[in-house]
Structure 1
Amino acid sequence: MKSKKRTTIYDIAEKLNIAASSVSRALSNSNHVNEATKKLVLKTAAELNYKRNTLASNLRKGKSKTIGVVVPFINQNFFSNVIAGIEEASYQKGYNLIICQSNELQSKEIKCVNTLINQHVDCIVISLSVDSSDHQHLQNVIDNGIELIQFDRVADELETLKVINDNEQASFEAVSHMIEQGYKRIALLEGPQNLQIFRQRKVGYLNALKKYDMPILDELIIENAWTKELGANATRKLLNLPEPPDAIFASTSDFSALGVLEVASVMGIKVPSQLGICGYSNEAFTEITSPSITTIDQFSVYMGKTVANLYFQEMENKDETEVVPKIISIKPKLLIRSSTQRKTV
């Protein structure tokens, strides 16, 4: 079945035998059109089922009132909550979102960014993919006069608005907690070190060991264990060591921590008495696993709202002397659950 042609201002103009510019002014409630013409145009527009092209109208005014968001995965609790926060704050300002996911591939991330540039969005909000290395596509955003805001996973060298977590302090608190629970050999599942957040989390882990005069052992640090499958593989390797760890900090994600928990269950290792487990991000499932998983809440919805409000604040102050902070850091919270509680409080 052939789709019905969309009604335009030219159709209205033709029916009323007036200029299209007069129709446009009438629909915009311009003072340059008399009331009788306005009423006639509005009546005819309703009869012809005319729908205003808001995007085209906004573009003529120099704004699309659209924010593009690029995240590694839409269906992860952290990123979906950030998007929800951005949407809530943006909706109140009359803005819409275009959401893309990179699937942790820089090649797809680049395509997403280029698509958003071509869509003439006003702002692009992005959290980098794990294999992100070259950032020319982000520089292209800036060169096209589009506001760029990075969150969570950011490129250090680009001077843009950023909303981040204090990853180093959060990791320090998590490892310190496990040490205070009596764990002696704490392993680290680390993420790709090309990303700032994973470097910071590793520093927090190392600082906690140093504070408590515990040895730093290379055999207990496993690289690139950032998915459930990679976390499980790393756990099997660690638990088969001559001296296996008695705790594992999955600094990459709760999915990695879930991989740890599943391997421990299969191997008959009791959590938390024989093995402590801590994840990162407070995914929804961490509360309902058995045992529940200690994790770090990044206040993702609040982060999203902060991202959007940072953009609106920047826009409002473009011509003002007030300086908008370029980097906002949100302090995460350690959520202590059963998987690390060997000692009763």
Structure 2
Amino acid sequence: MKNKKPTTIYDIAKKLNINASSVSRALANNINVSEKTKRLVLKTAKELNYKPNSIASNLRKGNNQTIGIVVPHINQNYFSNVIAGIEEIAYQKGYNIIICQSNESYQKEVKSINALINQQVNCIVISTSADFDKDDHLQTVLDHGINLIQFDRVAPNLETHKVLNDTEQVSMEAVSHLIEQGYKRIALLEGPQNLSIFRERKAGYIAALKKHNLPIVKELIKENAWTKELGEKATGALLDLPNPPDAIFASTSDFAALGALNAAKRRTLNVPQQLGICGYSNESFTEITNPTLTTIDQFSTKMGKAIADLYFEEIKDKLTTGPKKTINIRPELIKRASSQKV
């Protein structure tokens, strides 16, 4: 059964045998429309279950109070919390939000950006996809006079407002924690190195090893393992080495850490006694796995609110453009059973 099309002002106009412009003015309570016509239009609109299109209305008025958000995934706790933080503030300000998911595809990201530009949104908020290539589409946003805020995964060479975490420092703390628990051969599940955020996490991993005088072993570093499946596959390959690791730092995500935990269980390894595991992002499931997963809380809802506040307090209605602002929100290492060897 086909869905019934929503009622438009043209449907109301056709039923009343009047112009669509007259319907539009009546719905807007225009003083040039008689009270009789207004009552008739409102009565018919109710009968036909007419719902006004606020976005289209704002476009006609040149006042589209809408923020577009582009994220790699909407079904991950981290990104959904960022969106919730933005929406909470935006709702209070009378703004709508449009959410687009790139699903880690650069091409889908570009298409989403172009769609939001065509919607004439006031601001675009983005965390880039895993196969992010170049920032031409983001420069196009700026060329159209649309505000742009980057968060988490950013194009570092593009001068925009940014909301970030200090990922290098907290990654160093996470690996140092594993070392202090007695682990000596710590493997890294790393994200795509074309993204600065994953380069920073790798830098924190290396800094911790150097600080504790442990060697950097190339075979213990696995690229592009950010999903549960890829994390499990990468960990399986690591555990099959002649000299396997005794700990895993899944710097990409908690999903990769969950994959590492699955790989350990398949080999009947005791976590944390035989293998320590630390993830990243503090997904909700990390508290209910067996054992519970050590992770890093990025305070994602707080990040979302910081993004919204940045727009409404620092960008919106500003007549002149000052220097671009970068807000850093310090993440926190959460120590749980999967790394508590001592």
**Secondary structure of the structure 2 residue equivalent to 1:261:** helix
Give the whole-Å Cα distance in 1 for the aligned partners of 2:51 and 2:284. Answer: 41
2:325 maps to what in 1? 326
Q: Which amino acid aligns with 1:338?
A: A
Report the alpha carbon displacement of residue 100 of structure 1 after superposing the two structures with TM. 1.1
Alignment of 1:54-203 (within 5 A): 54-203=54-203
2:13, 2:23 within 8 Å by CA — same for their partners in 1? Answer: no
1:11 maps to what in 2? 13
Give the whole-Å Cα distance in 2 for the aligned partners of 1:124 and 1:230. Answer: 31
Residues 243 and 20 from structure 1, CA distance in 2 versus in 1: closer, same or farther, beyond 3 angstroms? closer
Residues 3 and 107 from structure 1, CA distance in 2 versus in 1: closer, same or farther, beyond 3 angstroms? closer
Instruction: Output one character per residue of 1:125-170: Cα deviation in whole Å (capped at 9) or x when no partner.
Output: 1111100011111111111111111111000111111111110111
Give the whole-Å Cα distance in 2 for the aligned partners of 1:142 and 1:150. Answer: 12
Given the two structures, how large is their TM-score scaled by the length of structure 1? 0.89
Stretches of structure 1 that go unaligned for 5 or more consecutive residues are none
Report the alpha carbon displacement of residue 248 of structure 1 after superposing the two structures with TM. 0.7
1:9, 1:20 within 8 Å by CA — same for their partners in 2? Answer: no
2:266 maps to what in 1? 266
**Secondary structure of the structure 2 residue equivalent to 1:48:** helix
Residues 112 and 238 from structure 1, CA distance in 2 versus in 1: closer, same or farther, beyond 3 angstroms? same
Give the whole-Å Cα distance in 1 for the aligned partners of 2:126 and 2:284. Answer: 23
> Higher mean Cα deviation, 54-63 or 133-142?
54-63
Report the alpha carbon displacement of residue 3 of structure 1 after superposing the two structures with TM. 5.0
> Higher mean Cα deviation, 53-62 or 184-193?
53-62
1:342 maps to what in 2? 341
Residues 305 and 62 from structure 1, CA distance in 2 versus in 1: closer, same or farther, beyond 3 angstroms? same
Give the whole-Å Cα distance in 2 for the aligned partners of 1:150 and 1:57. Answer: 28
**Secondary structure of the structure 1 residue equivalent to 2:9:** coil
Give the whole-Å Cα distance in 1 for the aligned partners of 2:329 and 2:323. Answer: 16
2:190, 2:250 within 8 Å by CA — same for their partners in 1? Answer: yes
Residues 243 and 134 from structure 1, CA distance in 2 versus in 1: closer, same or farther, beyond 3 angstroms? same
**Secondary structure of the structure 2 residue equivalent to 1:252:** coil
Give the whole-Å Cα distance in 2 for the aligned partners of 1:270 and 1:11. Answer: 72
Report the alpha carbon displacement of residue 223 of structure 1 after superposing the two structures with TM. 1.4
Alignment of 1:146-295 (within 5 A): 146-295=146-295
Give the whole-Å Cα distance in 1 for the aligned partners of 2:94 and 2:142. Answer: 23
How many residues matched? 336
Q: Which amino acid aligns with 1:337?
A: R
Q: Which amino acid aligns with 1:329?
A: N
Q: Which amino acid aligns with 1:244?
A: P
> Higher mean Cα deviation, 3-12 or 56-65?
3-12
Given the two structures, how large is their TM-score scaled by the length of structure 2? 0.90
Alignment RMSD? 2.6
Report the alpha carbon displacement of residue 8 of structure 1 after superposing the two structures with TM. 5.2
The one of 44, 48, 64 equivalent to 2:44 is 48
Instruction: Output one character per residue of 1:69-106: Cα deviation in whole Å (capped at 9) or x when no partner.
Output: 11111111111111111111111111111111111111
2:296, 2:334 within 8 Å by CA — same for their partners in 1? Answer: yes
Identity rate, percent: 61
**Secondary structure of the structure 2 residue equivalent to 1:114:** helix
Give the whole-Å Cα distance in 2 for the aligned partners of 1:135 and 1:83. Answer: 22
Residues 79 and 173 from structure 1, CA distance in 2 versus in 1: closer, same or farther, beyond 3 angstroms? same
Alignment of 1:294-309 (within 5 A): 294-309=294-309
Give the whole-Å Cα distance in 2 for the aligned partners of 1:150 and 1:23. Answer: 38
Stretches of structure 2 that go unaligned for 5 or more consecutive residues are none
Report the alpha carbon displacement of residue 204 of structure 1 after superposing the two structures with TM. 0.8
